[in-house]
Amino acid sequence: MTQQGVRWTADQVLALAPDSASRKAGSKLGAAGPWSEAGSSDEGTVWGLCKGSGSKPYQTVIDIADAAGPAYKCSCPSRKFPCKHALGLLLLWAGEEGAVSPGQPPDWAEQWIKGRRQRAEDKRAAGASGSSSGSGDPEAARRRAERRAVRVTAGATELEQRLADLLRGGLAGAEQAGYGPWEETAARMVDAQAPGLAARVRELGAIPASGPGWPVRLLEECALVHLLDQGWLRRERLPDALADTVRSRIGLPSSADGPPVRDRWLVLAQYDTADTKLTTRRIWLHGADSGRTALLLSYGAAGRAPELALPVGLTLEAEVSAYPGAGQLRATLGEQFAPPTPTAIRPPGVTTAEASARYGEALREDPWLDSVPVTLDRVVPAPDGDSWQLADADADTALPLTPAARGRPGLWRLVALSGGAPVKVFGECGHRGFTPLTAWPEGAGEAVQLY
């Protein structure tokens, strides 16, 4: 593989930045000035020395070929990950031809890379020798799972009681009661070891303050919590796949035990959502050969970026294993066979009518789904009163954008990219509307991130 072939774009590099300050600091270091002895090897390693404020330059190494996305090492004291030096070095490598010369890594870089490769090798060997080795006594594990199931059942029963009381007294009372009682119930669900229920209850608490139409939304969400409770309480009578879905919605741990699927995976989108405790990163993948869509989830502490990062618009030759459950797209990234490479592959698209139908069908397998990933082909962003919609270029139908998507700067990138002409848009289509995440112009052109 030539260096030219694997080089990324600046946007793809900047997408790795944990926050906007790092992005800015990294962009500044993306020029030849402070760097010396920068180089890259065919195995996907980039290294360089960056002149900092001290007398000794920082040593920065990046392993782009790692299975879990790029890995970084820098001798600077920053706790940001990747640090500005790693970003700057990647930008230098991505930007100027000849700024990073091909060659053999120096000793300090070589050592780190060797250590990483060795550890990865050991882990794979350990994984192959028996998956049960890490989890201890299977009998003890079964007893733990049983004890937890008893607690969840108690929690679900209590929540049913709480919902019945609410409906008996009327939702109108919920507006006056405020957020307090919900927070308390959510804490009870955390005690019951049902984090999925706790999260849903917390959202219920926020609905009465969410503006006009809240009673409809509150009833909908109460009914879906009720449905989940009932699903858990009667899980023995459900088909296996649906029972798995209920377990994962309740928040019980599961592991990606689906068979590994090797494919050229196109990175469709990567975006983070944050609450007070946790940053959640979602990465959507599209299998160029299998046609499958997969979701990789990773987490970081609040305010810090999760480690896994895959630049949008690249493909990676890798294995992906699915989590259990009907209609579940969540998967985990297995072995990666080559560094991510730029690609001209685009996912095939559908019309807005087909996208709506796809969401409806997905609800059959997982009634708690808020949205499904779809690619819309030939749609035109059009203003619709205060809002925006994506209108089919060849039909009289359209999908409105979600209220959240209307406020994001990505909307204007989408409108500018379209210029009134049809574009291809990947996003999430659900009952709240469509959330655009990535777009491609009709002619040649790179994927444009919209989140």
Q: Which of residues 375-434 bind another protein (CB under 8 A)?
A: 380, 382-385, 387, 389, 391-392, 395-403, 409, 412-413, 415-417, 419-421, 431-433
Question: Least distance (Å) from another protein to the CB of residue 390?
Answer: 9
User: 3-state secondary structure string, 187-238?
Assistant: HHHHHCCCHHHHHHHHHHHHHHHCCCCHHHHHHHHHHHHHHHHHHHHCHHHC
Indicate if the alpha-carbon torsion angle 439, 10, 284, 409 is positive or negative. Answer: negative
Q: How far apart are CA 202 and CA 220, in angstroms?
A: 15
Per-residue DSSP letter, 379? E
Question: Least distance (Å) from another protein to the CB of residue 213?
Answer: 6
| 159 vs 194, beta carbon nearer another protein | 159
């009667």: which residue's tokens?
234
Q: How far apart are CA 88 and CA 99, in angstroms?
A: 12
Token pair for 167: 């409906």
* Sheet bearing 45-50, strands edge to edge: 71-74, 58-63, 45-50, 35-40, 101-102
Question: Least distance (Å) from another protein to the CB of residue 200?
Answer: 13
Using the rule CB under 8 A, give the single segment among 93-101, 140-148, 318-326, 333-341 that binds another protein.
93-101
Is 217 a binder of another protein (CB under 8 A)? yes
Is 269 a binder of another protein (CB under 8 A)? no
Residue from the set 56, 79, 168, 277 that interacts with another protein by CB under 8 A: 168
Instruction: Give SS3 for 384.
Output: strand
Residues contacting 361, CB < 8 A, separation 6+:
none
Residue from the set 14, 87, 296, 374 that interacts with another protein by CB under 8 A: 14
Q: Is there a contact between 143 and 80 (Cβ–Cβ < 8 Å)?
A: no
| 284 vs 388, beta carbon nearer another protein | 388
Q: Is there a contact between 337 and 326 (Cβ–Cβ < 8 Å)?
A: no
Using the rule CB under 8 A, give the single segment among 90-98, 101-109, 289-297, 307-315 that binds another protein.
90-98
**Pairing outcome for strands 314-322 and 341-342:** antiparallel
Is 159 a binder of another protein (CB under 8 A)? no
Question: Least distance (Å) from another protein to the CB of residue 128?
Answer: 42
| 30 vs 44, beta carbon nearer another protein | 30
Question: Least distance (Å) from another protein to the CB of residue 201?
Answer: 15
Q: How far apart are CA 75 and CA 381, in angstroms?
A: 46
Is 45 a binder of another protein (CB under 8 A)? no
Rounded alpha-carbon distances, angstroms, from residue 427 to 53, 289, 386, 406: 44, 20, 21, 14
Is 23 a binder of another protein (CB under 8 A)? yes
Is 203 a binder of another protein (CB under 8 A)? no
Is 177 a binder of another protein (CB under 8 A)? no
| 134 vs 213, beta carbon nearer another protein | 213
Question: Least distance (Å) from another protein to the CB of residue 449?
Answer: 9
Nearest one of 283, 329, 330, 298 to 438, comparing CA atoms = 283
Number of residues that bind another protein (CB under 8 A): 89
Rounded alpha-carbon distances, angstroms, from residue 208 to 164, 307, 329, 388: 18, 36, 31, 25
| 76 vs 256, beta carbon nearer another protein | 76
Is 341 a binder of another protein (CB under 8 A)? no
Q: How far apart are CA 187 and CA 253, in angstroms?
A: 19
Question: Least distance (Å) from another protein to the CB of residue 389?
Answer: 6
Is 34 a binder of another protein (CB under 8 A)? yes
Q: Which of residues 248-267 bind another protein (CB under 8 A)?
A: none
Q: Is there a contact between 73 and 11 (Cβ–Cβ < 8 Å)?
A: no
Is 11 a binder of another protein (CB under 8 A)? yes
Per-residue DSSP letter, 133? G
Using the rule CB under 8 A, give the single segment among 18-26, 149-157, 272-280, 289-297 that binds another protein.
18-26
| H or E segment to which residue 107 belongs | helix 107-128
| 48 vs 287, beta carbon nearer another protein | 48
Question: Least distance (Å) from another protein to the CB of residue 335?
Answer: 31
Q: Which of residues 295-314 bind another protein (CB under 8 A)?
A: none
| 109 vs 159, beta carbon nearer another protein | 159
| 36 vs 131, beta carbon nearer another protein | 36
Question: Least distance (Å) from another protein to the CB of residue 122?
Answer: 39
| 262 vs 408, beta carbon nearer another protein | 408
Residue from the set 3, 31, 190, 238 that interacts with another protein by CB under 8 A: 31
Q: How far apart are CA 119 and CA 36, in angstroms?
A: 29
Distance of CA 351 to the CA centre of its chain: 24
| H or E segment to which residue 90 belongs | helix 84-95
